[in-house]
Each structure stands twice: as structure tokens, then as C-alpha cells.
Structure 1
Amino acid sequence: MRPYYLPREFTHALAVVVYVPPSANADAACDVLLSAVSRLQTQHPDALLLISGDFNHASPSSSLPKFTQYVTCHTRDNKTLDLFYANTKEAYHSLPLPPLGRADHNLVHLLPVYKTLVHRQPAVTRTVKKWSEEAEEALKDCFNTTLWDVFSDAHGEDIDSLTHCLTDYINFCVENTVPTRTVRSFSNSKPWITPDIKALLKEKRRAFVSGNKEELKSVQRELRRMIRKGKDCYRRKMEHQLQQNNICGVWKGLKTISGFKEPKSQPVGDQGWANDLNLFFNRFDQASAPPLAQSPLLQPPSQSLPPVHWLLLCPLPPPPHDPQFTPT
């Protein structure tokens, strides 16, 4: 299904209707469903996948761990036989309704509560350099007319000071020569989306509101052509980075395509916590070391120091004295 309005993070919607007879093998039914769903996800990784039907005694929750089950009310007597799965979280809220006609199953009203990605993650505004042949020629002229000996004479043999001065001067020339523009990056925009594609999307919306079907078809054809062109340009860009051994750029592009996010770094202690660690591990090198009982690390574990870390930092007991061993 490809409705007119669909959140941009989904390419289209796939609906899977399931019926498991009461006499069927539940494990075999879950295996068949998993095989079909895996094939669909491989073919359409960015699609919204919806699974609904009468599952009876089968429960595919363990087979589909990445899916969320949204039916929380009873659908027949005091049992929940009709289930609804989706491959996105916090998408629906279920409410029970009376049966339709003489049906023995209740109706389930699924209210959409999904919050689109563009609303969950605000747009990022950043400033980028607009490089062109004219800007490069102007920057070359700026560097050609620069008296570089002035920098070396002013700083002498201080290589660090000379490096900082030259770097600041080059950045100053770039800021005054290369024009900049402010762009807004939306979280749901694909990496191959260009300003031309965004303009066609607005034109498609305007043609739909006006009711001109011929113009809408024409804009839709042009939009598909521009999307194919944008994807092809992005593919050639990735291939060029790979040929130039630009592994950093290739990895950044792969993370953008796959939606990979860096894991959040674990919180670290403050400066006092670091000083306590230094005091504990360097206590044998100090002439007048404080008693071990006064060390904060030997006190019972607090909120800033987990119990496991506290046990690892506790000193080991001294070895038992052996009368046959005489140290030299």
C-alpha cells in the first residue's frame, strides 16, 4: 500500500493477514510467518509492516522480537485471540468495540498515536561552505598575494606559534572568500534528497490540492525521475569515496543509510572521584600516606561508585606469614 500521506521514514506499508486454525501446529505456523516476514523485510527494509489476524493458540511474539503487539483487550470472551503487530514502537492504542453482526469476536479499534520522526527529532540548522570554481580562484589569488615571509620573521623558530598563526590566517581567508549558506537538516530526510526534489514535493502537494490530475501525474513522473537521479548520484559518490580509500566518508554514509546511532557514553565521575582513585593507587609511593581506613574508596559503596567497582578497588589481605621463608 502506498497512500498519499505517509511519514517519510516509511517507503510504503505492507499488511500481512494471518489465520491460524485451532487444529494447526503453533510452532509450525510461527515458522511460516517468520519466513514470510523475513522475506518481506529483506525486500523492503524501510517499509511499515503490519501483521493482523486470528492467531488462536499461536503466539509469535518470541519469533518476532522486533515487532510490537498492540491489542491489549479481550477479543473473544476473556481471551485475546486477535493480535496486531507492527515493526515500530508507540504506534497504536487499542480499544474494544462490540462485535460486528453475529460475529463471535469483538472489534478492536486501533487509534494511531505514532509521532513522526521529524517531530521527535527537531531539525538541525548548520552553516556550510558553498565551494565553486570562482571561490577557489579567489582563494588562490588571496594566497598568491600574501607575504608569507612576514609570518616566519615574526615568530622565528617557534614552530607551534607559527602553526597557530598560519592556521588562523588561512581560516580567515576562507571565511572572507568562500560564501556560506544556512541549511536545515531534517531527521527524516534521506541522504540523496536535494533541494530540487524538495521543490518537486511541494509542487506535488500543490497539484494535489488543486485537483488537476494530469498535472499531478506529470509532477509524479518528474519526481520519480529526480529521485532515481539523486540515488544514482549518491551511489557514485560512495563509490568514489571507496576508490579514494576514504573509509571515514564511506562509514559515515553507511551509518546514515542504516540509521545507526552511536551508543551513549557511560557517565564518568567528577574530579573528586578521580583524585580519590589517584590517592588510592599511589598510596605506597607517598612518604606519609594516610591510613587506609580514612580513604574514601574503602568506605561502603556510595551512589557515585558501584558496589562491583568498590570491591575491585579494595586491597587484598596480606599473605599469611611463613616461618620457613626469610625475605632477603
Structure 2
Amino acid sequence: MLIPAYRPLIRCSKPVLKLVKTWPGGTISAFQDCFECTDWDMFRDAPTNGDSTDLEEYMSSVTSYISKCIDDMTISISITTRSKQKPWMTAKVRALLKSRDSAFRAGDKDALRTAQAKLSRAIREAKCTHSQRIHGHFQSSGDTHRMWQGIQSITNYRPAPPAYDSDASLPDTLNNFYARFEAQNDVTARKTIPTPEDQVLCLTMADVRKTLCRVNPRKAVGSDNIPGRVLMSVFTDIFSISLSSTVVPTCLKTTTIIQKNHHQEVSRVPSQ
């Protein structure tokens, strides 16, 4: 009786196609020039009637304008990601791998030898290019972020994934908890008139700019769909109006909670 040869089970993951926005060189400077020339008072005057400003319309017009500028100046491209892909892998090497496999399946020894030689040469070039890119992370001692990127690439450091609660009902529970503020309420809201001794919190442009500079531009965008790299001091006026009128715009009252395959958008701040 012939015993079939043992073959290890190989699990292959399918490539994932993603649509990402790229920021060409000089885009940030172009944003700064564009926003410096923008008449932000126009966005405030439109929803203002007397001493009252419709903060919801004010915030909506500003964020819509910023989003349009982002769409006009950035480029959307499709990229293919693969699980456990080598960092030096390129499209050229991947194409030569397919050519080598095709020659092997066809049984053409001459074509296989030629494809193998081209593949080896392309792999050496790809590894050399990747090595030069890694060395580039250490050229500037002042850029600590790039230095850490180089160290992580050399050591193949991958942070452990955070622990998640196995209870799949958690997003729904959080949604119900925060969304109760948006429930229909027949009681008329009454604002307490501040005493003369109380002073409304005032924000300066320097304070807002300092806080916005702490936002990591590489993080995903929030519910307002505005990247951290284009946050501007125009929000100083919006924040000041929000504090004085005790009203929070809708886009600042929502957040996104993601747990495994669950995706929920919930309210975080009461309307009044």
C-alpha cells in the first residue's frame, strides 16, 4: 500500500485592495497659502443674524470648504496590501516571480533559467533600495520619528494587538448609553444666567494652535473627516462661540467605536 507524501497545509491570504489619499510634495504649503488667503469672516457672517450665530451652519460650511480643498489637492490611488509581505517587495519582483512560476509549470528549462537570473537580480536591487531607504531614516538626528521607523524596520518590531472584549454587544451598549442624550425631550432647555463675577472661558489663537499641533497627522480622520495636518486656527472662533452659547456642533458630538467587525457611530456630548 502506497502512503501519500505528506504536504504541509499552506494558508494563503488574498490581497486586499485599498483606496488611499496621497499628499504630493508641497501640498501642506499649498494648504497654508490657500487658507491664509481665505476670508474666514465670510463663513461666520452668513449664518449670523444680529448677535446670534448659527453654530451648526458655521461649522458645516467651514468643514465642507476644507474637505473640498483636500479633495482638490490630494490624489486618491488604489494600493494592494498582502499579509506578511516582505518590506523590500516591489511590483517588478512580483511580476518576475509570476514569470518564473509560469516557466516552471511549462517545463521550459531555458526560460526558467533566464527568469531565475532576472528574478535574482531584481531581488538584489530591491533589497539594496530598501536598505538605502532604511539608512535615510538616520540621516537627520533631529527627526526622532523617522529614526524610530528605521529601528522598527531593522528589528521587525510589531506591537502586540490590543486586547478586546469578546462581548459583541459592547458597541450597541455604548451606542444606547450615549444616544440617550439625543432622545426626544419635551422639557424646554433653560440656560443659567452667569453672575457678573463669572467670566466666560476665553481661548486664544496661540492656545488652540498649540493644542492642534499635538494632533498626530498620521492618525485616521475623525467624524468630521478632516485630517489632523490641516487643522487651523479658524476653529478658535468656533470654539469660543461654542463656549459662550453652550452649544456643541453635531460633528464634534460624534465619534466612531470599532470593535473587531462591529462599527458604530455614537453621540458623545449632550445637545445642551
With a CA cutoff of 8 Å and minimum separation of 6, indicate the structure with the bigger relative contact order: 2
What TM-score, normalized by structure 1, do the two folds share?
0.37
What TM-score, normalized by structure 2, do the two folds share?
0.43
**Rg: which structure is higher?**
1
